[in-house]
Structure 1
Amino acid sequence: MTARLLWLDVARGLAVLAMLAFHFGWDLGHFGHIDPEIPYTDAYKAFGHAIAASFLFIAGLSLTLAHGTVFRARAYWRRLALLVGAALLVSGGTYIAFPSSFVFFGILHCIAAASLLALPFLFLPWPAAFAAGFALVAASFFARASVFDTPWFWWTGLSTFEPMTNDYRPLAPWAGALFVGVGAAKLARLRPAAVANSPHNIATRSVAFLGRHSLALYLVHQPLFFAGFTAVAMLTAPMHNARFEEACRAQCVASGASAQKCETACDCAAREAAREDALPDAATDEGRARLERIARACVIK
Structure 2
Amino acid sequence: MSPKGNRPHYGLLDTVRGVCILSMVAYHGMYDLVDIFGLPSAWYTGLPGYIWQQSICWTFILLSGMCWQLSRHHVKRGLLLVGCGAAISLITWLVMPSQRILYGVLNLLGLSALLLIPLDKLFRKIPAWAGLGGALLLFALTKNVSRGSLGFEGLVLCPLPEWLYATDLFAVAGFPSPGFWSTDYFPLLPWFFLFCAGYFLWGLLSQSERAKERLASGVRPLSFLGRHSLIIYLAHQPVLMGVFLAVGQLAG
Determine the C-alpha separation between the residues in 2 that align with 1:219 and 1:39.
23
Structure having greater relative contact order (Cα 8 Å, sep ≥ 6): 2
1:131 aligns with 2:129: no
Paired amino acid for 1:135: L
* Corresponding residue to 1:207 among 213, 218, 222: 222
Q: Where does structure 1 lack aligned partners over 5 or more consecutive residues?
A: 67-71, 238-301
Determine the C-alpha separation between the residues in 2 that align with 1:2 and 1:76.
15
Q: 1:30 to 1:207 in 2, by over 3 A?
A: same
Larger Rg: 1
Give the % identical residues: 26
Partner of 1:164: 181
1:185 aligns with 2:183: no
* Corresponding residue to 2:75 among 77, 98, 103: 77
- The CA RMSD over aligned residues, in Å, is 2.6
Any conservation in 2 of the 1:57–1:180 contact (CA below 8 Å)? yes
* Corresponding residue to 2:160 among 136, 144, 148: 144
Paired amino acid for 1:154: A
- The C-alpha deviation readout for 1:235-269, integer Å capped at 9, x for no partner, is 222xxxxxxxxxxxxxxxxxxxxxxxxxxxxxxxx
User: Counting helix residues as a fraction of each chain, which structure ranks higher?
Assistant: 1
In the TM superposition, residue 105 of structure 1 has moved relative to its aligned partner by 0.6
In the TM superposition, residue 163 of structure 1 has moved relative to its aligned partner by 3.7
Provide runs of 4+ in structure 1 moved above 4 Å: 1-4, 159-162, 198-201
Q: 1:100 to 1:34 in 2, by over 3 A?
A: closer
- Matches for 1:234-253 after TM superposition, within 5 Å: 234-237=249-252
In the TM superposition, residue 84 of structure 1 has moved relative to its aligned partner by 1.5
1:197 aligns with 2:214: yes
Determine the C-alpha separation between the residues in 2 that align with 1:102 and 1:23.
14
In the TM superposition, residue 161 of structure 1 has moved relative to its aligned partner by 5.6
SS in 2 for 1:53: helix
In the TM superposition, residue 216 of structure 1 has moved relative to its aligned partner by 0.4
In the TM superposition, residue 4 of structure 1 has moved relative to its aligned partner by 4.8
Q: Where does structure 2 lack aligned partners over 5 or more consecutive residues?
A: 1-5, 151-158
Partner of 1:251: none
In the TM superposition, residue 208 of structure 1 has moved relative to its aligned partner by 0.2
Q: 1:133 to 1:116 in 2, by over 3 A?
A: farther
Any conservation in 2 of the 1:132–1:176 contact (CA below 8 Å)? yes
Partner of 1:92: 90
Determine the C-alpha separation between the residues in 2 that align with 1:59 and 1:200.
18
Number of residue pairs aligned between Structure 1 and Structure 2: 228
